[in-house]
Amino acid sequence: MQKKAILALADGTHFEGIAVGHGDYTVGEVVFNTAMTGYQEVLSDPSYAEQLITFTYPHIGNVGTNAADFEADKVYAKGFILRELPTAPSSWRAQQSFVQFIEDYNLLGIAEIDTRALVHHLRLHGAQAGCILAEGDVVTAVAKARAWGDMQGRSLIDAVATHKTYAWQESLHKASNPTLVVVDFGVKQGILRCLAAQNCNVMVVSPQSTAEDILKLQPQGIVLSNGPGDPAACLDAIKTVQTLLTKKIPLFGICLGHQLLALALGAKTMKMKQGHHGVNHPVQDVVTKRVFITSQNHGFAVDEATLPADVRVTHRSLFDNTLQGFSHETLPLLAFQGHPEASPGPHDSDILFKQFIKLINAGSVQHA
């Protein structure tokens, strides 16, 4: 028997629908994702920790789920919001249905609501706390949403990252390959696969690792991964990056890693109104004027006006002109706000992995 459910936002707005999955209620920041595909990758992306994801595409669950499309070892999103109830999967790759998938991971969602109206509201008023409540009342749901607070000031990396050092299983680990150390702030497996595809030995370390711990692995390059939460709240990570910058080892910051690099250089970050979540975001290389269609997932951005004078802007969003990438006049670093591994999404910007290898080999970033 289908259970009724309520989605309530902290500002009192609410929607009534049908509960999908497991649990009585769930709370988090309500955001929207515009991707037409890749719902399994989205839900298992650690960067979505503490968030309720509104899928703008109406048909979610059509291709089921499978073991190959996970971005982490479990689902990290707190819940999901759908226009229509999932149907039976139709794909040769499907190993289980979407409904079975979310029940296995104890995830609660809501379906049969007007997601267009919800997204319009979030665009006007911004991402905010929300509660999905199964078989409850609006007053209770709104109270739970308001009690959650907001994303600013929250450091979430320790809750989603590894607590040990390990070698990525798909790396060849040949003595002749460069060793890359990936600092895991909530890393997606797609990033590790792309680095391994560049014939690198990939070692993954925890966000609690000190600069000394990282340097003991003798890396030729260091990657600062994606991750959830407020970058300015990751104080220990920022200090570690500041120390690494003094060692002149090539650094590549992706998403949260991009923001941590900027903070370590003295810039500031800011909370965005609704963030960038989707796979259709145009980003321009400011030098070559080439436009990339990119995969994005972030609710904070680097304030370009606060960048030091020796930082060179490399990429900007063509949606809102926010900073999407930078390099440095004297330090060997590359930073990109989007997701070049594109899981899911277009592969236009995967050339950045090759640029990082060129940075390691030649000490300078070569534009495509």
Selected from 3.50.30.20, 3.30.43.10, 3.40.50.300, 3.20.20.210, the CATH number assigned to the domain covering 4-148 reads: 3.50.30.20
By CB neighbour count within 10 A (0-12 exposed, 13-18 middle, 19+ buried), where does 88 fall? exposed
**Candidates 255, 276, 281, 328; catalytic one:** 255
Amino acid at 145: A
Residue 234 annotated in active site = no
Residue 230 reports pLDDT greater than 70: yes
Q: 10 Å Cβ neighbour count for 247?
A: 13
What is the C-alpha to C-alpha distance for residues 99 and 97, in angstroms, rounded to an integer?
5
What pLDDT, on a 0 to 100 scale, did the predictor assign at position 148? 98
Domain ranges of the chain: 4-148, 157-362
Mean pLDDT of 83-94: 93
pTM score of the predicted model = 0.96
* 212 a catalytic residue: no
Q: Are strands 79-81 and 201-205 parallel, antiparallel or unpaired?
A: unpaired
Beta bridge partners of 264: none
State what percent of residues in the chain have pLDDT above 70. Answer: 97
Token reading at 316: 């900007």
DSSP readout, 161-190?
S-SS-EE-TT----TTSPEEEEE-SS--HH
- Model pLDDT for residues 169-211, shown as the tens digit of each residue: 866 667 778 999 999 999 999 999 999 999 999 999 999 999 9
Distance (Å) of CA 292 to CA 320, 324, 339: 15, 11, 11
The least confident of 11-15, 81-85, 96-100, 345-349 is 345-349
Q: Please report which confidence band the pLDDT of residue 367 belongs to, taking 50, 70 and 90 as the band edges.
A: very low
**Does residue 365 register a pLDDT over 90?**
no
pLDDT, tens only, 235-276: 999 999 999 999 999 999 999 999 999 999 999 999 999 999
Cα separation, 198 vs 44, in Å, equals 24
Q: Would you state the structure tokens that stand for residue 59, as one six-digit string? A: 């048909």
Q: Are 180 and 219 in contact (CB under 8 A)?
A: yes
Told to judge if 341 belongs to the known catalytic residues of this protein, a careful annotator would answer: yes
- Among candidate residues 29, 71, 112, 341, the one labeled active-site is 341
Measure the CA–CA gap between 323 and 318, rounded to whole angstroms. 10
In this predicted model, what pLDDT tens digit does every residue of 131-171 receive, in sequence order? Answer: 999 999 999 999 999 999 999 999 999 999 999 999 998 66
16 forms beta bridges with 6
Number of H helices, E strands in the chain: 10, 17
pLDDT for the residue numbered 26:
98
pLDDT in tens, 26-73: 999 999 999 999 999 999 999 999 999 999 999 999 999 999 999 999
Q: Which fold has domain 157-362?
A: Rossmann fold (3.40.50)
